[in-house]
Amino acid sequence: MAESHVALRQAQGADTDGFLNIDKDPGVTSTGVVRRVKRLTRQRKVGHGGTLDPDATGVLAICIGKATRFVDAVITAGKTYVMTVRLGVATDTYDASGTVTLECDPSAIKMDQVEAALGRFRGEIEQVPPMFSALKREGRPLYELARSGVTVERVPRRVTVDRIELIEWRPPEFVVTVECERGFYARSLAHDIGAALDNAAHLTVLQRRRAGPFRIEDSITLAQLEEMVKLGNWQSAMKPPDFVLQELPAVVLDPLSEEHFLHGQPVTVTGEMARTGAHGQAVRAYSREGRFLALARYDSAGPWWRPAKVIAEA
């Protein structure tokens, strides 16, 4: 029931709070995209759902208004990347923008060796974040320390690579597609592949094809957004705030429960969910008219639905 109302509301495209799926151009930072969107749309509250390197392109989910409350759903979601790796050269940034730190002859490396090396990076792996990254040490981003010539030890992080596949072999470069979970660094993977081949490597091209439900096929560029702003129809490109929560179950509240809910009060759970709900389970809560109200969580003590992130007005 809630699903059909949501589909209707999305088709109407009347929401001013929501997400834009931006295809980021190379040479601009993710923060720079946020500033540009803010300036073009004249919205006060704008953020993004996961940093892309300045030289990278592809999907950058931009959250506007109340949708910023749900940005974690994008940050923690799975991602898909297509990355080009060049053998024979390592750099201090692990990509083409850095200073060369090592050169090797890659001519003896064959495609089957690369494919075998890729197998070592499937599943749960450990990655050392690059020095040129936004991670902070004592309040300072690592890239600031790196630019000043300071290198600090980085603790390896466990990340999950769901799929990695060689899709093009053109030595000394090759192209892979990667499906991964939160915390993955494409530049670290390129560097580590070089080491796994007893050689050197760095990332030359990176495109993010997917971030959670946002896909490159449905994205728009900043230039397209600017044109839509001029035409006065830019909001038609927005996805509603609940777009990033579609994998969660949906519940519909009656008018009295809705009123209590929007004032921060829990409401009683009835029906099958009262018997089968798991404590802490997240759901999308809607009015009978299909208005998205909040992200709620199941409290088995009641049992209740407790509002966690309310978006609708009381």
The amino acid occupying position 33 is V
Query: Could you give the 3-state DSSP secondary structure of residue 185?
Result: coil
Interatomic CA distance for residues 285 and 110, integer angstroms: 54
DSSP code at position 17: S
Tell whether the torsion through CA atoms of 244, 161, 184 and 85 is positive or negative: negative
Interatomic CA distance for residues 73 and 176, integer angstroms: 26
Interatomic CA distance for residues 212 and 158, integer angstroms: 20
| Residue 53 known to be catalytic | yes
- Catalytic annotation, pick one of 15, 17, 23, 53: 53
The amino acid occupying position 81 is Y
Interatomic CA distance for residues 309 and 290, integer angstroms: 17
Nearest Cα to Cα of residue 311 among 63, 1, 62: 63
Which positions are annotated as active-site residues?
A: 53
